[in-house]
């Protein structure tokens, strides 16, 4: 974790967000967004974003929010971004394993996958029964402390795409509680 109470995000998420915007909406949309990002976080957006470096989590929260604000269907866009990140960030070796792995392979590793992106909070998966799991995200609330509410909503899309890579169809991932809406943590119900 960065300074006291300041979370960090892996640069790969920032890189993937930029790639997503350019590939799906064009470089002109990203170019129009960049000055707003540079004003909010000049030390980051005026330089080269490195996938393997850590950045203040508020940079992710600002960028994610700035792009989604005003989108005609922000929820659908959020899901598409989550799918894009999941698809892009799973390594080639992991992707090959996913083709033969059961869904439990992905779900049991959600905690490790979370820590690839964020240095604060934890994701705890638990098997509840056949084809039924839950995942609990414990993290602080605050723009500088941890990923924001948009990330909480995007987690479902990320998991959905990862499960699809195992051959799972009709997975249902529902966020049942959110720490930004009065709950102690974010809860996800996962069935297929």
pLDDT tens-digit profile of 114-141? Answer: 999 999 999 999 999 999 999 999 999 9
Question: Would you say residue 135 lies in a domain?
Answer: yes
Question: Would you say residue 179 lies in a domain?
Answer: yes
Which parts of 8-153 are beta strand (E)? 8-10, 54-56, 122-129, 132-138
Helix (H, G, I), strand (E, B) or coil at 144: coil
Q: Which structure tokens are listed for 45?
A: 């957006």
pLDDT level of residue 4 (50, 70, 90 thresholds): low
For 18-22, 41-45, 49-53, which range has the lowest pLDDT when averaged over its residues?
41-45
Cβ proximity of 13 and 60 under 8 Å: yes
Helix (H, G, I), strand (E, B) or coil at 177: strand
Strand partners, 184: none
Question: Would you say residue 3 lies in a domain?
Answer: no
More confident residue, 5 or 26: 26
Nearest to 110 by CA among 169, 118, 177: 118
pLDDT level of residue 94 (50, 70, 90 thresholds): low
Question: Would you say residue 31 lies in a domain?
Answer: yes
pLDDT above 60: residue 92: no
Question: How far is it, in rounded angstroms, from Cα 81 to Cα 59?
Answer: 17
What total of structural domains would you count in the chain?
A: 1
Question: How far is it, in rounded angstroms, from Cα 185 to Cα 189?
Answer: 13
Domain encompassing residue 109: 8-191
pLDDT of residue 162: 87
**Residue 167 is part of a domain; what is its CATH number?**
3.90.1520.10
pLDDT of residue 87: 85
Question: Would you say residue 122 lies in a domain?
Answer: yes
Question: Would you say residue 1 lies in a domain?
Answer: no
């Amino acid at each position: 974790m960065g300074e006291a109470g300041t979370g960090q995000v892996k640069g790969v998420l920032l890189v993937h967000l930029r790639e997503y915007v350019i590939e799906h909406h064009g470089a002109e949309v990203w170019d129009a967004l960049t000055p707003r990002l540079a004003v909010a976080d000049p030390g980051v957006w005026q330089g080269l974003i490195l996938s393997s470096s850590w950045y203040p989590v508020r940079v992710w929260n600002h960028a994610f929010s700035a792009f989604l604000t005003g989108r005609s269907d922000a929820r659908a866009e959020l899901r598409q971004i989550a799918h894009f990140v999941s698809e892009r960030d799973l390594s080639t070796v992991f992707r090959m394993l996913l083709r033969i792995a059961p869904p439990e392979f992905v779900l049991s590793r959600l905690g490790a996958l979370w820590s690839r992106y964020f240095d604060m909070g934890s994701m705890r998966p638990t098997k509840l029964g056949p084809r039924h799991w839950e995942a609990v995200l414990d993290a602080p609330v605050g723009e500088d402390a941890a990923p924001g509410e948009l990330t909480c909503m995007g987690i479902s899309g990320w998991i959905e795409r990862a499960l699809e890579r195992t051959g799972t169809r009709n997975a249902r991932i529902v966020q049942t509680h959110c720490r930004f809406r009065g709950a102690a943590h974010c809860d996800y119900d996962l069935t297929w």
